């Protein structure tokens, strides 16, 4: 089984290729606003380092969010295009789940700063089972009982994300794939335009 995993929903670009239960390539670096220009060169490097071609892939996994509106679209556009062109399964996964995948704690709380005192939050156990569904929540309403994980800085202690690609791939490799055209962002939060429209209604 050959799987390409793509995550562009945060400031960190994650691209990995897993072949037969082995991570043969992993790129996990902060790219910030360079995400759209870096993702394709990194994917090209992934295939070269893994000594395979896109046609060799059996599936593509991509994070659908939550996270950066622009960042999510970058990765999903690539994943959708490749899955459709190669006629291979596309499997959506949570950005927050990937962030805590390297931790084996009983309760891991993934946080992304959504600004204005709100966060995207998801709670998972060490096997990546969902304890609390991903949500958009006021930070004062978040239950901070557990291992707090985030790329962002808060006025409380958080641990940096640890990524275990193999754990993520093994958990989701038998998931029911979606039509590539239905590989859609999971924003959780309405866009500013949608919020303004709701206020004006």
CATH number at residue 18: 3.30.420.40
pLDDT tens digits, residue range 29-47?
999 999 999 999 999 999 9
Q: Given this model, what pLDDT does residue 197 score?
A: 52
In a domain, 94, yes or no: yes
In a domain, 110, yes or no: yes
pLDDT tens digits, residue range 135-173?
999 999 998 899 999 999 999 999 999 999 999 999 999
pLDDT tens digits, residue range 55-66?
999 999 999 999
Sheet hosting strand 59-63, strand order edge to edge:
22-30, 12-19, 2-7, 59-63, 90-93
Count of the separate structural domains present in the chain: 1
**Cis peptide leading into residue 62 (ω within 30°):** no
Domain of residue 112 covers: 2-180
Q: Given this model, what pLDDT does residue 199 score?
A: 46
In a domain, 132, yes or no: yes
In a domain, 201, yes or no: no
In a domain, 199, yes or no: no
Average pLDDT along the chain:
94
In a domain, 200, yes or no: no
In a domain, 93, yes or no: yes
What is the mean pLDDT of the segment spanning 125-131? 98
In a domain, 197, yes or no: no
């Amino acid at each position: 089984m050959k799987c390409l995993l793509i995550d562009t929903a945060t400031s960190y670009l994650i691209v990995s290729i897993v072949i037969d239960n082995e991570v043969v390539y992993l790129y996990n670096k902060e790219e910030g606003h360079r995400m759209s220009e870096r993702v394709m060169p990194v994917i090209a490097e992934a295939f070269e380092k893994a000594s395979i071609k896109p046609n060799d892939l059996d599936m593509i996994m991509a994070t659908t969010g939550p996270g950066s509106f622009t960042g999510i679209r970058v990765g999903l556009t690539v994943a959708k295009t490749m899955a459709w062109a190669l006629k291979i399964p596309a499997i959506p996964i949570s950005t927050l789940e990937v962030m805590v995948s390297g931790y084996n704690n009983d309760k891991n709380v993934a946080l992304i700063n959504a600004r204005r005192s709100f966060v995207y939050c998801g709670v998972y156990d060490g096997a990546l089972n969902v304890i609390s569904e991903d949500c958009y929540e006021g930070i004062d309403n978040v239950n901070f009982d557990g291992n707090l994980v985030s790329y962002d800085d808060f006025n409380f202690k958080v641990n940096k994300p640890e990524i275990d690609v193999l754990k993520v791939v093994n958990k989701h490799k038998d998931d029911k794939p979606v039509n590539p055209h239905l590989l859609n962002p999971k924003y959780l939060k309405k866009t500013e335009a949608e919020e303004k429209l709701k206020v004006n209604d």
